[in-house]
Each structure stands twice: as structure tokens, then as C-alpha cells.
Chains A and B, each alone.
Chain A
Amino acid sequence: GIDCQGGSRMCCRQEFFVDFREIGWDDWIIQPEGYAMNFCTGQCPLHVAGIPGIAASFHTAVLNLLKANTATGTTEGGSCCVPTAQKPLSLLYYDRDSNIVKTDIPDMVVEACGCS
């Protein structure tokens, strides 16, 4: 995946960390200390459509750009910037009755993004 940096307008993964202490949730969530709610943002022009994440190479993009340009009118859209790799979030927390509960929530942390 491509991590968002600087002024890149291409589809990338934007890191966003939620600190449980900052939002006042550290009293009932024991572990971890926060949640990496990364998300995907950016454009998926035609010439990178269908090239999810790290598989995209500069050479491929350029070739595709040539093909796309020769196609009549390049229109944006039709391809979205979506997660291509995710991992679960393991939580250890107190429930209402002060029991300690451990839960693994699947697909909660975005690891990589790409164009669908």
C-alpha cells in the first residue's frame, strides 16, 4: 500500500490513531491503549484502476496512462480507493458487570489501500 504523504492526491492509506485516554475510554478499555482507525482516501484515475496497492509500479502506471489517454476521454470514478489488507482489533475491556472480556473484532485496522 501507499501511505499518504504530503500533497499526494493518489489513493493512499491515511493513518489515524484514536487514543482511548484522549476520548475518556481508558477506564473501561484495558488494552490496547488506542485504535489505529486508518482509512483510505485519494483518487483512482482510470490508469491505476484495478491495480490494488503495492502491485502498482511506476512502469505499469505509465503504460496504463498511455492506454487510458488513447481511450476516448478519461473520466474519473468507477474505481474507488478501498482497503486491500486489514487486521483485527483485539480488545480487553470491562463489561457492565465489571467482568473482564476479551474480543477480537475482525477487519478493524486498515493495513493497505488500493484502487478497486
Chain B
Amino acid sequence: TPRADNQCLVCGEPTLDLESQRKLLLNLAKRSILDKLHLSQRPILSQPVSRAALRTALQHLRGPPQGALPEADRGQEYEIISFAETGLSNINQTRLDFHFSDRTVGGMEVQQVRLMFFVQLPPNTIWTLKVRVLVLDPHDANFTLATQHLLEVDASGWHQLFLGPEAQAACSQGHLPLELVSESQIAQSSDILGGAAHRPFVVARVRVGGKQRVRRH
């Protein structure tokens, strides 16, 4: 604001005309930004960046696109536990059946299946166990082998075994039959049944496919 004698109030210099003042302020703004970015001059782009790359970077910066449901809303995830029912068994072979009612897995996507089991072993022993995943053969209504896992258990306590896609498919159909075969004399496959407190169970992590919502069981 010029004083009567047209000098700047603060610095006493003659006041600038508007255009010069504007240039001064623009230069001041440039200098201020470059200094804060620790740049001696403005960057010269050696190669242009594609619009697509820019859009992706901006999306990363702003988080999920507007309107997209956050992960949890896109489908709720549950863990469904099913305790083993024992089927036929002999000394070194035991059949376990896990059932899921239509109401619980119907319309759900089974993402992961874990078998949890408890064993009691003598110290310093390793028990070799084969876990077979069975499927129902549509032709003759018998169970056939879908896949098998070989386990070496070296300590007493609870153990878990992640089962593959065959087991996931079986769970989504409501019934997962497993067959345990003991490969050594250390223990019998039926030992895995344990008492009521140590009954084997399966944990199926499922995601609601959006068709229906089911409460946690």
C-alpha cells in the first residue's frame, strides 16, 4: 500500500506497478516451490509418461476407486469348522468324514481348507502319515483318490495340514471324506481320533459369493 510519497511501507523501496509486482510474485512462488523440493531448477522430462501410467499412479495414491466396495464388503469371509465323523477303520487305515450343510456353504466360495489333528507320540519319534482326499466317483458311487499328502509328525500336540483344491471342491459340495493311512508302527491312524477333546476338525475359510449372506457359525 503506497505511502503518500509512493514508497513501500515495509522496505521503503519505491512501489512497483501492478505488472512488475505480479512478475515478482510469480518468480517468488517458483523459487519457493523449487527450494522446498530441493530442486535447483524445474525438471525437464526426458520422456513423456503415458496417461495410463499416470492414471494408475493416481489411483494408487487415492486408494480404491470411488464406488468400489472395500475388500470386506465385496464378500464377507467366514471360517466354518466341521468336526470329524469316523467311518470305517482298521489298524493302519482310518476314514474321516466332514460334513457341511447346504445352508452353510451353499453359494459360497471355499478359499482354503485346513485339517487340524492332535497326536500323542513317544518322545524322539517321527510318525509318517498319509492323508488321502477322496472324491465320489459319479459312475459307480464309490470313493476314489483325488490327491494325497505325506506327513512326518515329530512331536505331540496339535498339527495342521493345508489341503488342496480337491478338498476345497469337496467342501463346497458339502462333504469332505479323508482317509488316514499310518506308514509306520509308531502309532495307529486311529490314534488321531483322540478323545472328545482332541477330535480332528476341518477349518474351511469361505467367502460369501455375494449371492446370500450367512452369519458366522
Which residues of chain A have a CB within 8 Å of any CB of chain B?
A: 9, 16, 18, 23, 25, 27-28, 30-31, 35, 37, 39, 41-43, 89, 91-98, 100, 102-103, 105, 108
CA of A86 to CA of B1, assembled, Å: 23
B37 to chain A, nearest CB (A): 6
Contact A100 B9 (CB under 8 A): no
Residue in chain A with minimal CB distance to B61:
A102
Residue in chain A with minimal CB distance to B8:
A41
B161 within 8 A of A: no
Pick from B28, B42, B47: contact of A25, CB under 8 Å: B42
Would you call the interface of chain A mostly helix, strand, loop, or mixed? strand
B33 within 8 A of A: yes
- Can you show 23 pairs from A to B with CB atoms below 8 A apart? A16-B25, A18-B25, A18-B26, A23-B26, A23-B30, A25-B30, A25-B42, A28-B45, A31-B58, A37-B25, A37-B32, A39-B25, A93-B43, A94-B45, A94-B49, A96-B44, A98-B45, A98-B46, A98-B48, A100-B49, A100-B57, A102-B61, A103-B37
B87 to chain A, nearest CB (A): 60
Contacts of A31 in B (CB 8 A): 58
Contact A27 B29 (CB under 8 A): no
B139 within 8 A of A: no
Residue in chain B with minimal CB distance to A28:
B43
Chain B CB within 10 A, most for which of A41, A96, A102: A96
Contact B61 A96 (CB under 8 A): no
Contact B45 A108 (CB under 8 A): no
Contact A37 B1 (CB under 8 A): no
B54 within 8 A of A: yes
B216 within 8 A of A: no
Q: Which 3 A-B pairs have the closest CB atoms?
A: A105-B36, A18-B29, A100-B57
Contacts of B48 in A (CB 8 A): 98
Contact A9 B42 (CB under 8 A): no
Chain A CB within 10 A, most for which of B1, B53, B61: B1
Contact B54 A30 (CB under 8 A): yes
Contact B45 A35 (CB under 8 A): no
Contacts of A39 in B (CB 8 A): 25
CA of A89 to CA of B37, assembled, Å: 11
CA of A18 to CA of B30, assembled, Å: 9
Contacts of B26 in A (CB 8 A): 18, 23
Contact A91 B33 (CB under 8 A): yes
Contacts of A18 in B (CB 8 A): 25-26, 29
Contacts of B53 in A (CB 8 A): 100
Pick from B9, B30, B37: contact of A43, CB under 8 Å: B9
Contact A37 B9 (CB under 8 A): no
